[in-house]
Amino acid sequence: MDEHRWSPRTPRATDLVRPLRVDVRGVSGPTKSQARGPRWRQTSAGMYVPADTDGSHVEQRILEQGSRIRMHGAVTGWAALRWRGATFFDGTAAADELLPVPVVVGHGLLRPDPRISISWEQLPPGERELVDGVWTAVAERALFDEVRRHRILRQAVVDIEMAIAAREVSAGGFRAYVASRNAWTGVGLARDVAAVAGLGCWSPQEVRMVLAWMWDADLPRPLCNTPVFDLDGNLLAIPDLFDEIGCAGEYQGADHKDGQRHRQDVARHERLRTAGIEVFEVVGGDLLDTDLVVARMRAARERCLLLPPDRRRWTLERPAWWEPWARTRGLESV
């Protein structure tokens, strides 16, 4: 079986340091004089952490800024999704630039700070909840805000797929949420990408490959990470992309170059081809060359034998052993 599944969730770091307020006695926080000294670092107005606390760590940044929120508001966007466990959202932009932590305050007040970006949009009480001591927007609201933040169609689809992979939202649930946001800024783009969501991809590059298949090559919406079996019920592979006429696509990242991983890939592709399934690969920087990728996809699809179901040597019908086996490996949603 495929061994390249991306892990969308990891345990949060346990060495985070919660900011403290100034304490005149120096018991529950630094005194005023201590706070002005070299052993403490200010995280926001009146809040401090020890100076050796790593302020570049993504979850530490979220904790430091999220700790400012009390009666109103919530961390939202990428920061809320990350805090809730979706590890794809790492809080960086191009060239590893650290993004400010997005916060929505509704009618609340929060002092401006370059380490945060503030939205004064509405925030109903039911759209925020306390997660491990930080007020965060519920996942659907956080994703809605993130999709509207960068306003880029393909990246927005990536965001939705990664939130789904982390089991923070469902495609249907997010579509329903967006449908209720009439007249909100950016809701049109959110509707467009929500309509595409639910591809079933496990990594950002898989999403980009599938969008190239649908939007650039103008080919039918494929199945993603769907198990394919031979007629004896043996698992052939779980291709990243599968067209039911018998075409499979795989994205091969840098981690597939080592000997053992490469041997597994070769063996998997050989199994698929022996069963009459055409396979194409997209590697590394290929996605930057749209014409190359489109030509490769179309060529593979044109080579398909187009056999009727009763003459195929493969099937999508799942044997009885699959469900219990898949549950033991965290593949029950596949």
Q: What is the mean pLDDT of residues 228-253?
A: 96
Q: For residue 3, what pLDDT is reported?
A: 32
1, pLDDT greater than 50: no
CB 249 within 8 A of CB 300: yes
Residue 287: CB atoms within 10 Å? 17
- By residue count, the chain amounts to 334
Pairing of strands 228-230, 235-237: antiparallel
Residue 163: CB atoms within 10 Å? 27
Angle formed by the axes of helices 171-179 and 139-150, nearest 10° = 70
Run of H or E including 129: strand 128-131
Read off the DSSP letter of residue 302.
H
Q: Which residues contact 40 (CB under 8 A, 6 or more apart)?
A: 30, 34, 48, 49, 50, 51
Query: With helix as H, strand as E and coil as C, how does 40-70 read?
Result: EEEEECCEEEECCCCCCCHHHHHHHHHCCCC
Q: For residue 44, what pLDDT is reported?
A: 93
95, pLDDT greater than 90: no
Whole-angstrom CA distances from 236 to 6, 109, 318 are 20, 57, 12
Q: For residue 254, what pLDDT is reported?
A: 60
Q: For residue 313, what pLDDT is reported?
A: 97
**d(C-alpha 102, C-alpha 95), whole Å:** 19
Which has more confidence, 4 or 49?
A: 49
Lowest mean pLDDT among 107-111, 184-188, 218-222: 107-111
Q: What percent of the chain has pLDDT over 70?
A: 94
Take residue 75 and report the two structure tokens written for it.
Answer: 């961390």
Q: Which residues contact 189 (CB under 8 A, 6 or more apart)?
A: 147, 148, 151, 153, 156
* CA of residue 145 relative to chain centroid, distance: 14
45, pLDDT greater than 70: yes
Could you tell me the pLDDT band of residue 12, with boundaries at 50, 70 and 90?
low
Strand order in the sheet with 40-44: 20-21, 47-50, 40-44
Q: For residue 144, what pLDDT is reported?
A: 98
pLDDT digits (tens, 9 = 90+) for 191-212: 999 999 999 999 999 999 999 9
CB 197 within 8 A of CB 171: yes
Q: For residue 6, what pLDDT is reported?
A: 37
Q: For residue 258, what pLDDT is reported?
A: 63
**d(C-alpha 79, C-alpha 151), whole Å:** 17
Specify which residues 334 forms β-bridges with: none
Strand order in the sheet with 241-243: 241-243, 247-252, 278-283
User: Average pLDDT of the chain?
Assistant: 92
Residue 231: CB atoms within 10 Å? 11
Whole-angstrom CA distances from 239 to 132, 199, 247 are 37, 13, 10
Lowest mean pLDDT among 24-28, 280-284, 330-334: 330-334
290, pLDDT greater than 80: yes
First CA to last CA distance, the chain: 13
Query: How would you label 114-137 residue by residue, b for 16+ Cβ within 10 Å and e otherwise?
Result: ebbbbbeeebeeebbeebeebbbb
74, pLDDT greater than 70: yes
147, pLDDT greater than 90: yes
Q: Which amino acid is at 218?
A: D
